[in-house]
Copies of this chain bind each other. A is one copy, B any other.
């Protein structure tokens, strides 16, 4: 059983996938806190609906990235009924980098999901960039966040063939479906203590 803190910015569909996996018993975890970088993120409602504590960053805090990340780190370290903090921070459609205050408080304990096969198509538009490039295979990557944007140790990847009749929309739909499946699976690997990072930054799954 691991305790998770989830970072969101928008609709929170990956958050929902994690909530659902916990509810059906396939992910041995609890979500202790959801922090949104935007006050009006729909994911906040998803969390409140299942009584998960939430924090939405104010505009003032949001505009001070280091202060925001210090706040996030502190809240995550003190989350939970007994204030013992979370084991992992899960980035779920969180549209910002996490900076030093968070990374140092949670070394190799901040997880991100990216809608492409990293290191290909780094950045905020992974699906569209891959589609426009014309790759025939793309996919989803779950990795530990570090100070190299989208370049942290890769935990898991899943591939997907781009179909001849795919539109950007149909591709997005299938990528998101894989995300919602893969993310809880990887978190369950973490819950089972099966994931380690070696000194060269490579991830091993036992």
Contact = CB atoms under 8 A, between A and B. Distances in A.
A154 interface: yes
Interface residues of A, number: 26
A134 B120 contact: no
Given A134-B153, A135-B117, A204 B159 contact: no
Contacts of A154: 133-136
Interface of A: 117-121, 132-137, 139, 153-159, 164, 200-205
A121 B203 CA distance: 19
Contacts of A132: 200
A173 to B, nearest CB: 20
Given A117-B137, A135-B157, 12 more contacts: A117-B120, A117-B135, A118-B120, A119-B120, A119-B121, A119-B135, A120-B120, A134-B154, A134-B202, A136-B155, A136-B157, A164-B205
